[in-house]
Amino acid sequence: MIAYVTVGADDLARAKRFYTAFLPALGYALTEGPEGLSFVLPKTAGQPAALPDFYVKPTFDGAPASAGNGSMIAFEATSQAEVRVLHAAALAAGGSDEGQPGFRATYGPRFYVSYLRDPQGNKIALFCDNPAEPGRDDPPPAPTR
């Protein structure tokens, strides 16, 4: 089980604007400190912490932050509509588009996904795989009168 993910950022204000555009809608609460931004899911009394936590911090060695080539962080949304809304919010908050929301031929028929880059260049996916929603291969709904 993954406990936490950390990405580096040279400009925490830009990173905060980007990540707060969608992570709170997915249930993450933000705590800020001199060490950076900490996004955590709520803990229910008597239950272990919900994982993973997500941290955005200056680099430990003081060198410029860089995005990992081939690395990506995926956040699960509850619906296809939420993927679309959060993708748009992240773009408006300084992200760049790496793939509009939709189905991909190489993934499962219900895997609905969008791709972004944060202001530092880290690749982010927003996806849902909700079996209650229409899939890529489902016939379109009948028109209503």
Q: What is the pLDDT of residues 13-60, one digit of tens each?
A: 999 999 999 999 999 999 998 889 999 998 888 888 888 999 999 998
In a domain, residue 137? The reply is: no
In a domain, residue 145? The reply is: no
99: CB partners within 8 A, 6+ apart: 113, 114, 115
| Domain enclosing residue 17, as ranges | 4-128
Distances, alpha carbon 144 to alpha carbons 66, 133, 139, in Å: 50, 18, 15
Helical ranges in the chain per DSSP H? 12-19, 80-92
- pLDDT score recorded for residue 97: 98
Q: How many domains does the chain have?
A: 1
| CATH code for the domain in which residue 116 is found | 3.10.180.10
In a domain, residue 63? The reply is: yes
Q: What is the pTM of this model?
A: 0.88
pLDDT band per the 50, 70, 90 thresholds, residue 127: very high
